[in-house]
Amino acid sequence: MKSFRKELFFNTTKRMEFINITSHVEKALEESGIQEGLCLVNAMHITASVFINDDEHGLLSDYAKWLEELAPHEPLSRYRHNLTGEDNGDAHHKRQIMGREVVVAVTGSRLDFGTWEQIFYGEFDGRRRKRVLVKIIGE
């Protein structure tokens, strides 16, 4: 069995942002040479997420609105975490809702997706450089 590891880096410009990273993960899979196995993709920041869904603008807009309703950024005093001098208590909650990672089967050297599935990086405390881990195992 082979193992391949690659880090992806993204610079986000907004506090909350969704980036389709499917092509980056597909490139990592190609570099790995692995034809059959599993591909793990996870956010390496506690205020970010990796998830799978449809790349449809309305849906991503709905996610942003829904997450802000569930865990609004302000007032900052809403979160005890922010008493430490941070202002990202909401981002921790949003990450918990959207999840840390995804695992996708690799079949025939391709990500084995369902219809419309794409991999997204979700940022909830952005405006700086962030990292995503891609770990692929198989043969």
pLDDT tens, per residue, the chain with 139 residues: 999 999 999 999 999 999 999 999 999 999 999 999 999 999 999 999 999 999 999 999 999 999 999 999 999 999 999 999 999 999 999 999 999 999 999 999 999 999 999 999 999 999 999 999 999 999 9
Please count the structural domains in the chain. 1
Range of the domain at 82: 2-138
**What is the CATH classification number for the domain harbouring 65?**
2.60.120.460
How far is residue 19's CA from residue 7's CA, in Å, rounded to a whole number?
Answer: 15
Distances (CA, A) of 117 to 17, 20, 81: 18, 11, 34
Q: Is the pTM of this model over 0.75?
A: yes
**38 strand-pairing partners:** 105, 137
